Structure 1
Amino acid sequence: MNWQTEVEKWKRFDGLERELKEELEQLEADPKALEDSFYTHLTFGTGGMRGEIGPGPNRMNTYTVRKAAEGLARYIDQAGTEAKERGVVIAYDSRRKSPEFASEAARTLGAHGIRVYLFESLRSTPELSFAVRYLHAFSGIVITASHNPSEYNGFKVYGEDGAQVTGDAADAIVAQVNSVEDELIIEAADEAGLKADGTLTVIGSQVDEAYMRALQSVVVNPDVIKKAAPDFRIVYTPLHGTGNVPVRSGLEAAGFIHIDVVAEQEKPDGRFPTVRYPNPEEHAAFELAIRDGERLDADVLLATDPDTDRVGVAARDGSGRFEVLTGNQVGALLLHYLITENKKQGTLPEQAVMLKTIVTSEMGEAIAAAHGVKTVNVLTGFKYIAEKIRSFEETGTGRFLFGYEESYGYLIKDFVRDKDAIQTCLLIAEAAAAFSLRGMTLFDGLQELYGEYGFYREGLESLTLKGKDGSGKIARILADFREQPPSEFSGEPVTVIEDYASGTRTILAEGREEAIALPESNVLKYRLAGDSWVCLRPSGTEPKMKFYFGVKGESAEAADRKLDRLKEAVMARVRSLI
């Protein structure tokens, strides 16, 4: 079926929602936008789907949400009666249409007789992960597009361990979703009827309280907080998302006293009116927090994204100005604090393991190695960190200590199996408080780490390449790098080529290949002489091609220069391809 035929099918559908019908009529004045909405079906990948809100099979709307939920329902049907009785937990964030999409998912599952637990109001992604485990549910759904712009929403699927699904389970769910032939005619049960017969249960405070009790286990040294709290001030912004209540409650329960919230960004609002992107990776998202931090003489600034799984941090630099730290820098600080404090208390586990992704800084591995902690690298995506945690439990080999990725995602305690910004806010505040007792800021502490472990610098370049044309350009970039592998970048020879699509690592000096023991992924990584590396990866959630860079220098200035040269060399080649 071509896309024009798909448009006609939607136009002829008598039950089409009035809002979508009106939007479809408006789209007909823009042929390119109309084609993009209908030329393909929104991809349901291993973690779910994400896209712009609007009419058509390539957009997030009632019917594509029902299709995703129908695929999950068919998978649960095949898993049997126990799986249906254990059911699915559904949470949603502050985005446009999130409550409606959560209801549609619940009604679709309910039509199959699958038990559903639906949160009474918006909740964070980490609490959804916790709830799946706490309620012993078979699966979970969270309606969110994480840190994407306001026109996006998404549908993420979780397994019984509270982690995003991977492996065979993910493949089976994807297959079931793709088997749904017509999203417009999927049955959705009446919500009131589902509540009346007990199929749908509304949840809230009981899960909140259990999560908050578990959250206090994140605190490593309560005495640090007790000593620092009277003079220690935090400015926090939830960026119009779900974090306001749980982050503030968690910090207060831990003993922090002075917690100020950016007033303009305190209330949930899916339009995200004060920021272009509700993403703590964007320095612009800190503008109002920095204003309040300067006015209130704050020690640390915290910002969480709409579903509160990512957190950004800013601290005062040597001149007293607030500096927004990178995800790699925050990860290094958290890891070092966890290891050193646990060693002081004699509580560092034997066989402790730090987990990080292949595009995350090598500084964390250097810190871990110096303290006898093993590092395991996984593919990009926190689901792979969660997968390793589950493996440790099943095999008894390895004890999870800390997991993180460069894109501002961290996990400290495994009662959640996804990145958890609420946990992270507690630990980063505690680490900042510990430095404050020494007359230092987090930024000062970071310089101390650089002096001990070396000056690591990382960078990221992203190309937004939307639609059919964009997909073609992404494929062309990756094909060129594979078919004509680079021998050097900015004068540094390539020593190792890692192709995660073929699962091979080529050690060039030895002329040999070895297998990479990770799942297949369309990713290329080049290791260079001199502790530098480059990684090419298409985003799994946005129409972007991403280029990651890492270097190590003898000084901050030398590392910065090295990074700039490496970026320019790689991006010059990329520009020639698009």
Structure 2
Amino acid sequence: MAWKEDYQRWQAYEGLDSKVREQLDQLSGDDKAIEDHFYKTLEFGTGGIRGEIGPGINRMNVYTMRKAAKGLADYVASKGKEAMNRGVVIAYDNRRMSKEFAVEAAETLGKNGVKAYVFSELRPTPVLSFAVRHLNTFAGAMITASHNPPEYNGFKAYGEDGCQLVPEDADQLIGFVNAVEDELEVETGDQNELLSNGLMQWVLDEVDDAYLHEMKAVIMDQGLIDEMGGELSIVFTPLHGTAQKPMMNTFAMAGFTNVHPVSEQAEPDTEFTTVKSPNPEEHSAFELAIKKGEEVNADLLIATDPDADRIGLAVKNHQGDYQVFSGNQTGGLLLDYLLMKRKEKGNLPDNGMVLKTIVTSELGRVIAEAYGMQSLDVLTGFKFIGEKIRQYETSGEHTFLFGYEESYGYLIEPFARDKDAIQPGLLAAEMAAYYKKLGMSLYDALLDLYKRYGFFYEDLVSYTFKGKEGSEKIVRIMDTFRQSVADGELEDDVVAVEDYKSGKRTDLKSGQESDVNLPSSNVLKMFLADGSWYCLRPSGTEPKIKFYFGVNGDSHEQTSARLEELKSLVTQKAEQI
């Protein structure tokens, strides 16, 4: 019943923020709601914190934000005076209270002697990642809940390389955050005083201009854009988020002049009023883009999520309907085009490396190998791709070529170190122009990709379980599948299992174990005899457990049937649990 003590502590706190006080009072008499707001501390994990906005230690509010910022301040201070002087750059998206949370974080950092650079307008996650490197700060913070529903917000922490903190560094930060005993007592500085003494500084144009300049490196064929940039018809929507200015500025810089914004979604909106979900992974998010596309006969539709680190594409199929590509399909097309152009220009390095996650399509590996390049799987989470880029820069062992994950995240040039929707938006437009010049659509290009490399189909099934009971259900599902491995009760054609929690790969026929050589993570992946696979992964940012599926075959019909068979087999087992 510890939640009651924390609730009473908040109730008794005389200095409680007036908005938080009003929200807290609305919970009065509803013990189930109060318990949900207070039964646990909103966990600061390896990716930061994310949760619903509201009162309580299990919600995002000014006090949980101050606690996170105080932990970050103490983490930076532990690295010395130079780190404190280099400071932290903070950006924020269009969500409820995003700018307020950014200022709260800056005032907390400043109070603790750590300089804070704060964007004066909302900007995307990739611009924050770039800003860390451009301003040479010791750390960065992004106030965002990515593509979560409107009631969510969050805080992501970045290291000095512009990458989200990898586990070793994140664990240190988590330790400092958890050491903050009373979130209500965290002190903040006065904004005007901090601005006058240099512990807080607003930034915008300098970073914008530098980021736009770096985008030129993403262009593979400027001559092609000069020729086709006015002919290719593009519809773009930021889904009410942060990408409108940087994406449109990038198109203009490159020479794409026939771009049609979705006006209803071009302005930031905390409530995302025109979409059920501001997530380009959801096909329904393209509804207004498709309407606009039909009006202007667009060749390419582009949608980005609120903090512009994810991007979705849609093009017309042979029936004349706009079809939304999966993240794996977009990734395969971008990778093939990128490597093709680099080969044409003679700048494919001998030690080139393509990075993808363990739940991303094997198509990427096959494409990389076709061009004589290597590929490597990392854990889900773009920070692991960023970590490898840093290692390669230091060792010279490999040259980074492309990084991506199935959940619509891509990185082409490493001037940012998180997934960046603006970069693939530009490259996708160039790619569409290339195929249009050949008399092909991107849909034709996708079919050609399958023809050349084989049919690789993937799918994702998510189960959402909210609250305390939901968390327990997710644990039960993972435990049951792990026990099935131990008891030998998996399907007969499962030939190997990788348990990223134990770090072991088990060959089920021989019983031999080997090391996975990846950081520990609560993920299970099963490999089947025909090359198919499926993977179980609880989300680190949402109350979900995700089941990923991948199959390959020689035809659309065969591969589609196999995918449905595998999905049915696994989800039936999950639903029985």
Superposition deviation, residue 28 in structure 1: 2.3
1:290 counterpart residue number:
290
Report the residue type matching 1:470 in the other structure.
G
1:148 counterpart residue number:
148
Q: How does 1:78-477 map to 2 (within 5 A)?
A: 78-477=78-477
Contact 1:302 1:425 in 2 (8 A): yes
Superposition deviation, residue 487 in structure 1: 5.9
1-structure distance, mates of 2:10, 2:525? 43
2:28 counterpart residue number:
28
Q: Does 1:511 align with 2:511?
A: yes
> Structure 1, residues 84-119: CA drift from partner, whole Å, max 9, x if none?
000000000000000000000000000011111111
2-structure distance, mates of 1:523, 1:303? 29
Contact 2:505 2:513 in 1 (8 A): yes
Distance 1:88 1:220, change over 3 A: same
Contact 2:86 2:115 in 1 (8 A): yes
> Structure 1, residues 269-316: CA drift from partner, whole Å, max 9, x if none?
111111111100000100000000011000000000110000010011
Report the residue type matching 1:180 in the other structure.
V
Q: How does 1:60-71 map to 2 (within 5 A)?
A: 60-71=60-71
Superposition deviation, residue 488 in structure 1: 7.9
Superposition deviation, residue 153 in structure 1: 0.2
2-structure distance, mates of 1:175, 1:118? 25
Superposition deviation, residue 230 in structure 1: 2.5
Superposition deviation, residue 492 in structure 1: 6.1
2-structure distance, mates of 1:492, 1:479? 20
Superposition deviation, residue 253 in structure 1: 0.6
Give the TM-score taking structure 2 as reference length: 0.99
What root-mean-square deviation, in Å, do the aligned CA atoms of Structure 1 and Structure 2 show?
Answer: 1.1
Contact 1:60 1:153 in 2 (8 A): yes
Runs of 4+ more than 4 Å apart: 486-489
Contact 1:488 1:494 in 2 (8 A): no
1:525 counterpart residue number:
525
Superposition deviation, residue 559 in structure 1: 0.9
Report the residue type matching 2:557 in the other structure.
E
Secondary structure class of the residue paired with 1:424: helix
2-structure distance, mates of 1:258, 1:370? 34
Report the residue type matching 1:90 in the other structure.
I
Deviates most, 15-24 or 59-68: 15-24
Deviates most, 14-23 or 243-252: 14-23
Secondary structure class of the residue paired with 1:148: coil
2-structure distance, mates of 1:21, 1:84? 34
Unaligned runs of 5+ in 1: none
Superposition deviation, residue 30 in structure 1: 3.1
Superposition deviation, residue 162 in structure 1: 0.2
1-structure distance, mates of 2:520, 2:462? 22
1-structure distance, mates of 2:36, 2:505? 37
Secondary structure class of the residue paired with 2:416: coil
2-structure distance, mates of 1:328, 1:365? 12
Superposition deviation, residue 350 in structure 1: 2.1
Superposition deviation, residue 346 in structure 1: 0.4
Unaligned runs of 5+ in 2: none
2-structure distance, mates of 1:487, 1:511? 11
> Structure 1, residues 342-389: CA drift from partner, whole Å, max 9, x if none?
101101122000000000000110111111110010000000000000
Secondary structure class of the residue paired with 1:509: coil
Superposition deviation, residue 77 in structure 1: 1.2
1-structure distance, mates of 2:191, 2:238? 31
Report the residue type matching 2:156 in the other structure.
K
> Structure 1, residues 496-529: CA drift from partner, whole Å, max 9, x if none?
1000000000112222000011000000000001
How many pairs are equivalent?
576
Contact 2:462 2:545 in 1 (8 A): yes
Contact 1:94 1:306 in 2 (8 A): yes
Give the TM-score taking structure 1 as reference length: 0.98
Q: Percent identity?
A: 53
Superposition deviation, residue 167 in structure 1: 2.8
Report the residue type matching 1:457 in the other structure.
Y
Contact 2:71 2:176 in 1 (8 A): yes
Contact 1:487 1:494 in 2 (8 A): no
1:8 counterpart residue number:
8
Superposition deviation, residue 201 in structure 1: 0.9
Secondary structure class of the residue paired with 1:176: helix
2-structure distance, mates of 1:445, 1:279? 25
1-structure distance, mates of 2:382, 2:557? 32
Report the residue type matching 2:299 in the other structure.
D
Superposition deviation, residue 557 in structure 1: 1.4
1-structure distance, mates of 2:527, 2:430? 35
Secondary structure class of the residue paired with 2:229: helix
> Structure 1, residues 389-446: CA drift from partner, whole Å, max 9, x if none?
0000111100000000000000000000000000110001111111111111111100
